[in-house]
Homo-oligomer: A and B are copies of this chain.
Amino acid sequence: MARQVYLDYAATTFTDPRVVEAMNPYFTRSFGNPSSIYSFSEENRRAIAEARKQVASVLGSAPEEIYFTGSGTEADNWALQGIASKNRSKGNHIITTKIEHHAILHTGQFLQKNGYDVTFLDVDAEGRVSLETLKKAVTDKTILVSVMFANNEIGTIEPIAEIGAFCRERGIYFHTDAVQATAHVPIDVKAMNIDLLSLSAHKFYGPKGVGALYIKKGVKIDNFMHGGAQERGRRASTENVAGIVGLGAAIELASSRMASASERISRLRDMLIDGVMKAVPHAKLNGAPSGERLPNNANFSFIGIEGETLLLDLDRAGIYGSTGSACSSGSLDPSHVLMAIGLSHELAHGSLRLTLGEETTEEDIQYVLSVLPGIVKERREMSPLWEDYLKSFDKGR
Protein backbone atom coordinates (compact mmCIF):
# COMPACT_ATOMS: atom_id res chain seq x y z
CA MET A 1 0.00 0.00 0.00
CA ALA A 2 1.13 3.54 -0.75
CA ARG A 3 2.31 5.77 2.02
CA GLN A 4 -0.45 7.23 4.18
CA VAL A 5 0.21 10.40 6.12
CA TYR A 6 -2.63 11.49 8.37
CA LEU A 7 -2.27 15.18 9.19
CA ASP A 8 -5.73 16.00 10.44
CA TYR A 9 -5.34 15.29 14.15
CA ALA A 10 -7.15 18.53 14.98
CA ALA A 11 -10.24 17.15 13.26
CA THR A 12 -10.07 13.92 15.22
CA THR A 13 -7.51 11.48 16.58
CA PHE A 14 -7.52 7.71 16.58
CA THR A 15 -8.51 6.22 19.91
CA ASP A 16 -5.40 5.02 21.72
CA PRO A 17 -5.45 1.20 21.90
CA ARG A 18 -4.86 1.44 25.66
CA VAL A 19 -7.96 3.60 25.89
CA VAL A 20 -9.99 1.07 23.90
CA GLU A 21 -8.77 -1.61 26.26
CA ALA A 22 -9.84 0.46 29.26
CA MET A 23 -13.28 0.89 27.71
CA ASN A 24 -13.85 -2.70 26.70
CA PRO A 25 -15.06 -4.21 30.00
CA TYR A 26 -17.87 -1.67 30.13
CA PHE A 27 -19.59 -2.93 27.02
CA THR A 28 -20.17 -6.57 27.76
CA ARG A 29 -19.21 -7.28 31.35
CA SER A 30 -19.81 -4.27 33.58
CA PHE A 31 -22.72 -2.81 31.74
CA GLY A 32 -25.11 -1.88 34.54
CA ASN A 33 -26.87 1.46 34.76
CA PRO A 34 -24.66 3.49 37.11
CA SER A 35 -27.71 5.22 38.56
CA SER A 36 -29.11 1.94 39.88
CA ILE A 37 -28.43 1.19 43.50
CA TYR A 38 -27.58 -2.49 43.21
CA SER A 39 -24.06 -3.78 43.74
CA PHE A 40 -23.84 -4.88 40.11
CA SER A 41 -23.37 -1.24 39.11
CA GLU A 42 -20.80 -0.51 41.80
CA GLU A 43 -17.89 -1.01 39.40
CA ASN A 44 -19.47 1.39 36.92
CA ARG A 45 -20.09 4.03 39.54
CA ARG A 46 -16.50 3.74 40.65
CA ALA A 47 -15.23 3.90 37.06
CA ILE A 48 -17.14 7.09 36.41
CA ALA A 49 -15.92 8.60 39.66
CA GLU A 50 -12.38 7.71 38.64
CA ALA A 51 -12.80 9.35 35.21
CA ARG A 52 -14.16 12.45 36.89
CA LYS A 53 -11.06 12.59 39.04
CA GLN A 54 -8.79 12.09 36.05
CA VAL A 55 -10.35 15.04 34.26
CA ALA A 56 -10.36 17.19 37.38
CA SER A 57 -6.72 16.56 38.05
CA VAL A 58 -5.76 17.70 34.54
CA LEU A 59 -7.84 20.88 34.79
CA GLY A 60 -7.03 21.64 38.40
CA SER A 61 -10.68 21.48 39.46
CA ALA A 62 -12.61 19.44 41.99
CA PRO A 63 -14.10 16.21 40.60
CA GLU A 64 -17.63 17.42 41.44
CA GLU A 65 -17.10 20.30 39.04
CA ILE A 66 -16.86 17.97 36.02
CA TYR A 67 -20.01 17.00 34.09
CA PHE A 68 -19.83 14.52 31.23
CA THR A 69 -21.63 15.30 27.97
CA GLY A 70 -22.14 13.67 24.57
CA SER A 71 -19.65 15.90 22.73
CA GLY A 72 -17.64 19.10 22.81
CA THR A 73 -20.48 20.70 20.91
CA GLU A 74 -22.93 19.79 23.64
CA ALA A 75 -20.64 21.26 26.29
CA ASP A 76 -20.50 24.50 24.29
CA ASN A 77 -24.27 24.60 23.76
CA TRP A 78 -24.85 23.94 27.44
CA ALA A 79 -22.41 26.58 28.65
CA LEU A 80 -23.85 29.37 26.53
CA GLN A 81 -27.54 28.51 26.70
CA GLY A 82 -27.44 27.44 30.34
CA ILE A 83 -25.71 30.60 31.53
CA ALA A 84 -27.82 32.81 29.30
CA SER A 85 -31.19 31.58 30.51
CA LYS A 86 -30.24 31.23 34.17
CA ASN A 87 -28.80 34.74 34.39
CA ARG A 88 -31.31 36.52 32.19
CA SER A 89 -32.45 38.72 35.04
CA LYS A 90 -28.91 40.07 35.47
CA GLY A 91 -28.44 40.93 31.83
CA ASN A 92 -28.78 39.73 28.27
CA HIS A 93 -25.36 40.53 26.88
CA ILE A 94 -22.84 37.88 25.91
CA ILE A 95 -19.41 38.46 24.48
CA THR A 96 -17.56 35.97 22.33
CA THR A 97 -15.24 36.20 19.32
CA LYS A 98 -15.36 36.00 15.55
CA ILE A 99 -13.06 33.00 15.47
CA GLU A 100 -14.95 30.57 17.67
CA HIS A 101 -15.88 27.09 16.52
CA HIS A 102 -19.34 26.82 14.99
CA ALA A 103 -20.53 25.17 18.20
CA ILE A 104 -20.13 28.55 19.91
CA LEU A 105 -20.81 30.75 16.90
CA HIS A 106 -24.08 29.14 15.92
CA THR A 107 -25.22 28.88 19.52
CA GLY A 108 -24.48 32.59 19.87
CA GLN A 109 -26.55 33.31 16.77
CA PHE A 110 -29.33 31.14 18.15
CA LEU A 111 -29.28 33.21 21.34
CA GLN A 112 -29.39 36.40 19.29
CA LYS A 113 -32.60 35.19 17.72
CA ASN A 114 -33.95 34.61 21.20
CA GLY A 115 -33.51 38.07 22.59
CA TYR A 116 -29.88 38.08 23.66
CA ASP A 117 -27.38 40.65 22.59
CA VAL A 118 -24.23 38.88 21.44
CA THR A 119 -20.98 40.66 20.59
CA PHE A 120 -18.50 38.85 18.38
CA LEU A 121 -15.09 40.39 19.06
CA ASP A 122 -12.56 41.11 16.34
CA VAL A 123 -9.13 39.54 16.51
CA ASP A 124 -5.75 40.70 15.26
CA ALA A 125 -3.98 39.41 12.15
CA GLU A 126 -2.64 36.42 14.07
CA GLY A 127 -6.01 35.53 15.51
CA ARG A 128 -5.53 36.95 18.98
CA VAL A 129 -8.28 38.58 21.03
CA SER A 130 -7.05 41.57 22.97
CA LEU A 131 -8.06 42.38 26.50
CA GLU A 132 -8.56 46.00 25.42
CA THR A 133 -11.13 45.04 22.79
CA LEU A 134 -12.89 42.91 25.37
CA LYS A 135 -12.92 45.68 27.97
CA LYS A 136 -14.51 48.06 25.51
CA ALA A 137 -17.24 45.57 24.68
CA VAL A 138 -18.29 44.91 28.27
CA THR A 139 -21.47 46.60 29.48
CA ASP A 140 -23.30 46.36 32.76
CA LYS A 141 -25.57 43.83 31.07
CA THR A 142 -22.73 41.45 30.23
CA ILE A 143 -23.30 38.09 31.90
CA LEU A 144 -20.87 35.87 30.03
CA VAL A 145 -17.61 36.04 28.12
CA SER A 146 -16.69 33.02 26.00
CA VAL A 147 -13.26 32.94 24.37
CA MET A 148 -11.77 29.75 23.01
CA PHE A 149 -8.54 28.53 24.58
CA ALA A 150 -6.88 27.85 21.25
CA ASN A 151 -8.25 28.11 17.76
CA ASN A 152 -8.97 24.93 15.84
CA GLU A 153 -7.98 26.28 12.41
CA ILE A 154 -4.93 28.40 12.96
CA GLY A 155 -3.86 27.15 16.38
CA THR A 156 -3.49 30.55 17.99
CA ILE A 157 -3.56 30.41 21.78
CA GLU A 158 -5.65 33.14 23.40
CA PRO A 159 -4.69 35.17 26.50
CA ILE A 160 -6.98 33.11 28.72
CA ALA A 161 -5.43 33.95 32.09
CA GLU A 162 -5.66 37.68 31.39
CA ILE A 163 -9.25 37.44 30.26
CA GLY A 164 -10.08 35.21 33.22
CA ALA A 165 -8.61 37.66 35.71
CA PHE A 166 -10.52 40.54 34.16
CA CYS A 167 -13.84 38.68 34.11
CA ARG A 168 -13.44 37.49 37.68
CA GLU A 169 -12.75 41.05 38.80
CA ARG A 170 -15.83 42.30 36.98
CA GLY A 171 -17.99 39.44 38.25
CA ILE A 172 -18.74 38.17 34.74
CA TYR A 173 -18.79 34.45 34.05
CA PHE A 174 -15.96 33.26 31.83
CA HIS A 175 -16.29 30.21 29.59
CA THR A 176 -13.56 28.83 27.38
CA ASP A 177 -13.93 26.27 24.61
CA ALA A 178 -10.79 24.24 25.30
CA VAL A 179 -11.66 21.43 22.92
CA GLN A 180 -8.42 21.91 20.98
CA ALA A 181 -6.25 22.81 23.97
CA THR A 182 -7.10 20.19 26.58
CA ALA A 183 -4.24 17.76 27.18
CA HIS A 184 -2.22 19.59 24.52
CA VAL A 185 -1.22 22.67 26.52
CA PRO A 186 -1.25 23.24 30.29
CA ILE A 187 -4.57 24.39 31.76
CA ASP A 188 -5.35 25.42 35.31
CA VAL A 189 -8.92 26.58 35.80
CA LYS A 190 -8.15 28.04 39.22
CA ALA A 191 -5.06 30.01 38.28
CA MET A 192 -6.70 31.14 35.05
CA ASN A 193 -10.01 32.09 36.71
CA ILE A 194 -12.06 29.97 34.34
CA ASP A 195 -15.70 29.40 35.33
CA LEU A 196 -16.69 27.00 32.58
CA LEU A 197 -14.62 24.94 30.16
CA SER A 198 -15.57 22.60 27.31
CA LEU A 199 -13.53 19.60 26.19
CA SER A 200 -13.98 16.63 23.88
CA ALA A 201 -12.32 13.22 24.15
CA HIS A 202 -11.66 12.56 20.46
CA LYS A 203 -9.17 15.42 20.28
CA PHE A 204 -6.79 13.69 22.69
CA TYR A 205 -6.92 10.04 21.63
CA GLY A 206 -10.19 9.27 23.36
CA PRO A 207 -13.42 8.09 21.75
CA LYS A 208 -15.78 10.25 19.72
CA GLY A 209 -19.16 11.13 21.17
CA VAL A 210 -18.12 12.07 24.69
CA GLY A 211 -17.07 15.39 26.16
CA ALA A 212 -17.25 17.29 29.40
CA LEU A 213 -18.15 20.66 30.80
CA TYR A 214 -16.29 21.98 33.82
CA ILE A 215 -18.62 24.16 35.89
CA LYS A 216 -17.03 25.95 38.80
CA LYS A 217 -18.87 25.32 42.03
CA GLY A 218 -21.46 28.02 42.63
CA VAL A 219 -21.89 29.06 38.99
CA LYS A 220 -25.58 29.56 38.24
CA ILE A 221 -26.47 27.61 35.11
CA ASP A 222 -29.62 25.97 33.76
CA ASN A 223 -29.68 22.43 32.44
CA PHE A 224 -29.46 21.87 28.71
CA MET A 225 -30.37 18.19 28.46
CA HIS A 226 -33.64 17.66 30.33
CA GLY A 227 -34.63 14.29 31.71
CA GLY A 228 -33.32 11.88 34.33
CA ALA A 229 -31.23 12.82 37.35
CA GLN A 230 -27.85 11.68 36.01
CA GLU A 231 -24.72 13.75 36.63
CA ARG A 232 -26.21 14.91 39.94
CA GLY A 233 -29.36 16.13 38.23
CA ARG A 234 -27.56 18.32 35.77
CA ARG A 235 -27.20 16.31 32.56
CA ALA A 236 -29.81 13.73 31.69
CA SER A 237 -29.15 10.54 29.67
CA THR A 238 -28.04 7.10 30.75
CA GLU A 239 -24.33 7.49 31.38
CA ASN A 240 -22.08 6.48 28.49
CA VAL A 241 -19.92 4.46 30.84
CA ALA A 242 -17.44 3.12 28.29
CA GLY A 243 -17.11 6.54 26.69
CA ILE A 244 -16.60 8.29 30.02
CA VAL A 245 -14.01 5.72 31.07
CA GLY A 246 -12.32 6.26 27.69
CA LEU A 247 -12.30 10.01 28.16
CA GLY A 248 -10.73 9.62 31.59
CA ALA A 249 -8.08 7.17 30.46
CA ALA A 250 -7.25 9.31 27.42
CA ILE A 251 -6.91 12.58 29.27
CA GLU A 252 -4.63 10.97 31.82
CA LEU A 253 -2.44 9.35 29.15
CA ALA A 254 -2.26 12.44 26.99
CA SER A 255 -1.42 14.81 29.79
CA SER A 256 1.18 12.55 31.28
CA ARG A 257 3.11 12.74 28.02
CA MET A 258 2.10 16.31 27.19
CA ALA A 259 5.48 17.95 27.71
CA SER A 260 7.46 15.45 25.65
CA ALA A 261 4.80 15.09 22.95
CA SER A 262 4.51 18.82 22.63
CA GLU A 263 8.25 19.18 22.19
CA ARG A 264 8.53 16.41 19.62
CA ILE A 265 5.48 17.45 17.67
CA SER A 266 6.24 21.16 17.59
CA ARG A 267 9.73 20.37 16.31
CA LEU A 268 8.24 18.39 13.42
CA ARG A 269 5.65 21.09 12.88
CA ASP A 270 8.36 23.76 12.65
CA MET A 271 10.23 21.57 10.20
CA LEU A 272 7.07 21.39 8.12
CA ILE A 273 6.47 25.14 8.27
CA ASP A 274 10.06 25.99 7.40
CA GLY A 275 10.09 23.48 4.57
CA VAL A 276 6.84 24.72 3.05
CA MET A 277 7.75 28.38 3.33
CA LYS A 278 11.02 27.66 1.56
CA ALA A 279 9.76 25.34 -1.14
CA VAL A 280 6.50 27.04 -2.08
CA PRO A 281 6.82 30.57 -3.47
CA HIS A 282 4.41 33.11 -2.05
CA ALA A 283 3.18 30.79 0.65
CA LYS A 284 1.65 32.41 3.71
CA LEU A 285 1.59 31.04 7.26
CA ASN A 286 -1.70 31.75 8.99
CA GLY A 287 -1.84 32.25 12.73
CA ALA A 288 0.65 33.09 15.44
CA PRO A 289 4.37 32.26 15.61
CA SER A 290 5.49 28.87 16.91
CA GLY A 291 5.53 29.61 20.61
CA GLU A 292 2.05 31.08 20.63
CA ARG A 293 0.16 28.42 18.75
CA LEU A 294 -0.84 24.83 19.44
CA PRO A 295 2.19 22.57 19.09
CA ASN A 296 0.56 20.49 16.37
CA ASN A 297 -0.91 23.18 14.12
CA ALA A 298 0.31 24.49 10.77
CA ASN A 299 -1.95 26.52 8.51
CA PHE A 300 -0.94 27.91 5.12
CA SER A 301 -2.53 29.88 2.34
CA PHE A 302 -1.36 29.37 -1.23
CA ILE A 303 -2.62 32.17 -3.39
CA GLY A 304 -4.03 30.99 -6.70
CA ILE A 305 -5.32 27.58 -5.71
CA GLU A 306 -8.42 26.46 -4.02
CA GLY A 307 -8.33 24.28 -0.93
CA GLU A 308 -10.51 21.40 -2.00
CA THR A 309 -8.36 20.92 -5.08
CA LEU A 310 -5.33 20.78 -2.86
CA LEU A 311 -6.91 18.28 -0.48
CA LEU A 312 -7.88 15.96 -3.30
CA ASP A 313 -4.44 16.15 -4.90
CA LEU A 314 -2.83 15.48 -1.53
CA ASP A 315 -5.30 12.66 -0.95
CA ARG A 316 -4.07 10.98 -4.13
CA ALA A 317 -0.62 11.13 -2.63
CA GLY A 318 -1.92 9.58 0.60
CA ILE A 319 -1.76 12.81 2.61
CA TYR A 320 -4.83 13.80 4.62
CA GLY A 321 -5.24 17.44 5.62
CA SER A 322 -8.01 19.99 5.83
CA THR A 323 -8.92 23.39 4.41
CA GLY A 324 -10.85 26.51 5.26
CA SER A 325 -12.23 26.63 1.76
CA ALA A 326 -15.96 26.85 1.43
CA CYS A 327 -16.13 24.03 -1.05
CA SER A 328 -15.27 21.36 1.43
CA SER A 329 -17.95 22.40 3.88
CA GLY A 330 -20.91 22.79 1.57
CA SER A 331 -21.35 26.45 2.35
CA LEU A 332 -20.32 29.19 -0.05
CA ASP A 333 -18.25 31.31 2.31
CA PRO A 334 -14.73 30.40 3.24
CA SER A 335 -13.57 29.96 6.83
CA HIS A 336 -14.86 32.68 9.14
CA VAL A 337 -11.59 32.38 11.06
CA LEU A 338 -9.42 33.17 8.06
CA MET A 339 -11.70 36.05 7.12
CA ALA A 340 -11.53 37.36 10.68
CA ILE A 341 -7.74 37.52 10.59
CA GLY A 342 -8.06 39.64 7.48
CA LEU A 343 -7.34 37.23 4.66
CA SER A 344 -8.76 38.00 1.24
CA HIS A 345 -11.32 35.58 -0.11
CA GLU A 346 -8.71 34.19 -2.47
CA LEU A 347 -6.31 33.39 0.34
CA ALA A 348 -9.01 32.03 2.57
CA HIS A 349 -10.19 29.70 -0.17
CA GLY A 350 -6.61 28.61 -0.73
CA SER A 351 -5.81 27.50 2.80
CA LEU A 352 -4.43 24.20 3.98
CA ARG A 353 -4.37 23.04 7.58
CA LEU A 354 -1.98 20.27 8.53
CA THR A 355 -2.16 19.10 12.14
CA LEU A 356 0.30 16.61 13.55
CA GLY A 357 -0.02 13.96 16.21
CA GLU A 358 1.29 10.91 17.99
CA GLU A 359 2.07 8.88 14.90
CA THR A 360 3.57 11.67 12.82
CA THR A 361 7.21 11.03 11.96
CA GLU A 362 10.00 13.00 10.40
CA GLU A 363 9.66 10.83 7.31
CA ASP A 364 6.04 11.87 7.06
CA ILE A 365 7.04 15.52 7.03
CA GLN A 366 9.73 14.92 4.48
CA TYR A 367 7.27 13.08 2.32
CA VAL A 368 4.82 16.00 2.49
CA LEU A 369 7.62 18.38 1.61
CA SER A 370 8.52 16.23 -1.39
CA VAL A 371 4.95 16.23 -2.71
CA LEU A 372 3.23 19.48 -1.78
CA PRO A 373 5.31 22.03 -3.71
CA GLY A 374 4.80 20.18 -7.00
CA ILE A 375 1.05 19.99 -6.49
CA VAL A 376 0.82 23.69 -5.71
CA LYS A 377 2.88 24.53 -8.77
CA GLU A 378 0.80 22.41 -11.11
CA ARG A 379 -2.55 23.70 -9.91
CA ARG A 380 -1.36 27.27 -9.96
CA GLU A 381 -0.46 26.87 -13.59
CA MET A 382 -4.06 26.31 -14.48
CA SER A 383 -5.32 29.15 -12.28
CA PRO A 384 -6.39 32.52 -13.70
CA LEU A 385 -5.93 33.99 -10.23
CA TRP A 386 -2.29 33.00 -10.06
CA GLU A 387 -1.71 34.59 -13.44
CA ASP A 388 -3.33 37.85 -12.25
CA TYR A 389 -1.49 37.69 -8.96
CA LEU A 390 1.89 37.31 -10.60
CA LYS A 391 1.17 40.24 -12.91
CA SER A 392 0.15 42.55 -10.09
CA PHE A 393 3.00 41.29 -7.97
CA ASP A 394 5.52 42.05 -10.69
CA LYS A 395 3.96 45.48 -11.16
CA GLY A 396 4.18 46.06 -7.43
CA ARG A 397 7.95 45.65 -7.42
Contact = CB atoms under 8 A, between A and B. Distances in A.
Interface stretch (A99-107, A159-167, A276-284, A384-392): A99-107
A67 to B, nearest CB: 14
Interface string A232-269: 01001111111100000000000000000000000000
A349 interface: no
A28 B20 contact: yes
Interface stretch (A186-194, A307-315, A371-379): A307-315
Given A236-B102, A242-B208, A328 B12 contact: no
A104 B240 CA distance: 20
A312 B41 CA distance: 13
A355 to B, nearest CB: 11
A17 B17 CA distance: 18
B200 A238 contact: yes
Contact of A229 (B38, B226, B331): B331
B208 A73 contact: no
A238 B103 contact: no
Interface residues of A, number: 72
A4 B40 contact: yes
A101 B40 contact: no
A229 B28 contact: no
Given A27-B20, A210-B209, A12 B226 contact: no
Contact of A226 (B110, B242, B322): B110
Interface in A303-350: 308, 311-312, 314-315, 320-322, 328-331
Contacts of A308: 37
A356 to B, nearest CB: 15
A28 B37 contact: no
Contacts of A330: 229, 233
A14 B37 contact: no
B73 A236 contact: yes
- Kindly name the residue among A14, A208, A243 whose own CB sees the greatest number of chain B CB atoms within 10 A: A208
A329 B70 contact: no
Interface in A65-123: 69-74, 76-77, 101-104, 106-107, 109-110
Nearest to A243: B209
Given A40-B315, A102-B228, 4 more contacts: A72-B238, A77-B226, A104-B227, A229-B331
